[in-house]
Structure 1
C-alpha cells in the first residue's frame, strides 16, 4: 500500500503580487508562496490527502519561507533540497483589471532549475499513487534530465503519471524548443491537463475537443482542457464531457489551473476511481470538484494562500 497520494516535482517560488501603492505612490508587492506543482499539491492536501514535494530552493529568506509554508499545509518536504549556491526563484506578477496575470521571472538561474537526479529521494517516487510534473523543470539542465528520469522511475514503480505543461513563454529559449520538450513529456503521461491556449502547442489542433481526442488516441487515459471561466472539457476513451464553471468574483487568476487540477486529482483518488475504466459520469464529477476549488481560489490574491479547504469546496458544490 503506497503511503502518499500525490507527489509533485518542479518549481517552488515566490509570486510577488501587486498589493496597492505606498504612501509615496510606489507599487507594493505581496510575498505569496507559489509555483504550479506546489499550488496543485496544496489543493490535494486541503482535500484531505497525503502529498510530498520534490524540488530545490536557495539558502535564503525566500527559501526558508517557502519550506515553512509547505510544512504548514502540510506537504511533506523531505524531498525539498536547499542549495546555498543558487537563489530561490522569484516571479513578479502584474494583474489586469479582470484578474488575468503576466509574469516576470528572476530565474537566471533559479534554484528550481538546478535539481539533479542524484538529489531526488527515490523512495518518495516509489511510494506514491500519482506522480505529477509540469514543463518548467524542462526548460534547463540539470532539472530537465532529472524530471524525465524521475518520471520513468515513478512509472516503473506503478504510479499514475500526471502532467500539466503550464507553458510560460519567457522561460524558454524558443517556442520550438518548448513544443519539443512539452510534447516529449506528454508521451509519458497517463493523465494530463492543458489550457485552451496550449492546445496547438501540444497537438496539431487548436480546437479543444480535437486536441483532447488526439492526445487520447496517442495513449493518454484522461485529458482535460481547461476553458477559463467556461469550465473544462474532459476526454477519455469513454467519450467527452463539458463541465461548466462556477460563478466567481475574480480577484487574481494565479493558481486557478493548478488548484483545479489538484481538486480533480483529489476527487479521483478519494473515490478510488479506475483510470482505465473511468465513466463519463465520473469524468464530470471530478472536473466539477476541480472547478469548485478553482472558483474559490481566484477570489483571493496569490496561489497557495488562496486555495480553499475541503469544507469551503463542499459548500461551493452546493451551488
Structure 2
C-alpha cells in the first residue's frame, strides 16, 4: 500500500458492505461527563451503519448487515436507513431489545454506557454471503466479534472475503464493557489484526489494547501483529499512518468541535469513499480527515454530509 498509489479493488456491483451493529445513541443534551444531564436525544448509531450512511452521502454504493429488535427503536433505525436510501434487505430482526448506547456529549472523548440486546444475534446467511461477495470492501468493528453468535458470523465473513479478494477494514475499538466477564477480548482483537487490510485505532483504543505508550510505539505494535495499513488517530494532535515501510504524520483539519461522537466513523466513510473513487492513498487519507472535520461541527454520529467532491473543494484539497 504505497502512499502515492491507488488502492486496488476487484470490480463488484457494490462498493462497501458494513457488517455489525445498528443501534441507538442516546446523547446527553448538555456537555456532561457525569451523566447528570437531565435530557438525552436519540440518534441512529452503530459504527458500521454510520459509515454506510455517510459513505452513500459521499457518493459511493453501500449496504449494511445488522440485527435489531422487534421494537420501536428497531423501527426507528430501519426508517432512518430508508430515509437515507440505504438498503435494509440485510437487516435481521430478533426477539431481543434493540441495542443502545447512552453517551455524554463531548468535545473530547465521549463516555459511553452500553446496553446490548439484538445486535450480537446477527447470523451468517446465504443472503449475507452473497452481498459480501458482491462488494469491493467489507468493514467491521469490535462490537460483533465481542459476543456469540455474531463473532462466528464475522469470522466466516473474514474467511470468505479473503478467499474472494474483498478488501477488509477493521476498527479495533475495544471496550472491556462490551465483552463478557472473564473473556480475554484483548487477545482476541489482537489475533484479528493480521487478517485486515486496513486498521484504524484511536489513541484510546491503542491504550486499552496495549497499555500506555507513545503514539509511535503503539503504531509499531499494530504492525508487529500483522496489520498492513495502520491509521492511528490522535484527536486534536492529528494522526500517524504507516504501511509498514513508511510512516507519515497528519495534522487535524478540525477548526470547530461541537461533538466528537462518530468522528472516527466519518473518517472511515471519507477514506473509503475516496479510495473507491480512485484517489491515491495519500489523498484518500486527507479526504478522510476532511470529512471527519466536517462532521465535528455537528452533534450526532450521522450528519448531513455533502458529496465528497464538495468537501474536497471546501477544505481546498
TM range (shorter): 0.7 to 0.9
Kindly indicate whether the alpha-carbon contact (under 8 Å) linking 2:22 and 2:49 is maintained by their aligned counterparts in 1: yes
Q: Select between 25-34 and 73-82 the one with higher mean Cα deviation.
A: 25-34
Give 2:111's match in structure 1, choosing from 73, 77, 102.
102
What does 1:160-179 correspond to in 2, within 5 Å?
A: 160-173=167-180, 177-179=184-186
What does 1:102-251 correspond to in 2, within 5 Å?
A: 102-107=111-116, 110-118=117-125, 121-173=128-180, 177-202=184-209, 206-251=213-258
Higher relative contact order (CA 8 A, sep 6+): 2
Number of residue pairs the alignment of both structures matches = 303
Give 2:90's match in structure 1, choosing from 67, 79, 88.
79
Secondary structure, counterpart of 2:269 in structure 1: helix
What does 1:299-314 correspond to in 2, within 5 Å?
A: 299-305=297-303, 307-310=305-308, 312-314=310-312
Question: How much does 1:6 deviate?
Answer: 0.8
Distance (whole Å) between structure 2 residues aligned to residue 218 and residue 26 of structure 1: 41
Distance (whole Å) between structure 2 residues aligned to residue 195 and residue 9 of structure 1: 20
Distance (whole Å) between structure 1 residues aligned to residue 307 and residue 72 of structure 2: 27
Question: How much does 1:308 deviate?
Answer: 4.9
Q: TM-score by structure 2 length?
A: 0.87
Partner in structure 2 of residue 294 of structure 1? 292
Give 2:272's match in structure 1, choosing from 265, 274, 280.
265
Question: How much does 1:317 deviate?
Answer: 1.7
Distance (whole Å) between structure 1 residues aligned to residue 142 and residue 238 of structure 2: 23
The gaps in structure 2 that reach 5 residues or longer are 1-10
Asked if 1:92 is matched to 2:108, the reply is no
Q: Structure 1 218/18 Cα, relative in aligned 2: closer, same or farther at 3 Å?
A: closer
The gaps in structure 1 that reach 5 residues or longer are 274-281
Partner in structure 2 of residue 276 of structure 1? none
Question: How much does 1:9 deviate?
Answer: 0.6
After superposition, what is the alpha-carbon deviation per residue over 1:109-158, rounded to whole angstroms, capped at 9, x for unaligned? x1111112247521111111111111111111101111111111122121
Q: Structure 1 308/167 Cα, relative in aligned 2: closer, same or farther at 3 Å?
A: farther
Q: Select between 168-177 and 185-194 the one with higher mean Cα deviation.
A: 168-177
Partner in structure 2 of residue 278 of structure 1? none
Distance (whole Å) between structure 2 residues aligned to residue 18 and residue 309 of structure 1: 29
After superposition, what is the alpha-carbon deviation per residue over 1:9-46, rounded to whole angstroms, capped at 9, x for unaligned? 1111110112259xxx9822211001111112223212
After superposition, what is the alpha-carbon deviation per residue over 1:164-184, rounded to whole angstroms, capped at 9, x for unaligned? 012223212359622122112
Kindly indicate whether the alpha-carbon contact (under 8 Å) linking 1:163 and 1:193 is maintained by their aligned counterparts in 2: yes
Question: How much does 1:318 deviate?
Answer: 1.8
Distance (whole Å) between structure 2 residues aligned to residue 50 and residue 256 of structure 1: 21
Distance (whole Å) between structure 2 residues aligned to residue 153 and residue 310 of structure 1: 30
Partner in structure 2 of residue 279 of structure 1? none
Q: Select between 182-191 and 26-35 the one with higher mean Cα deviation.
A: 26-35
After superposition, what is the alpha-carbon deviation per residue over 1:231-280, rounded to whole angstroms, capped at 9, x for unaligned? 2211014401111111332111100011111111111121165xxxxxxx
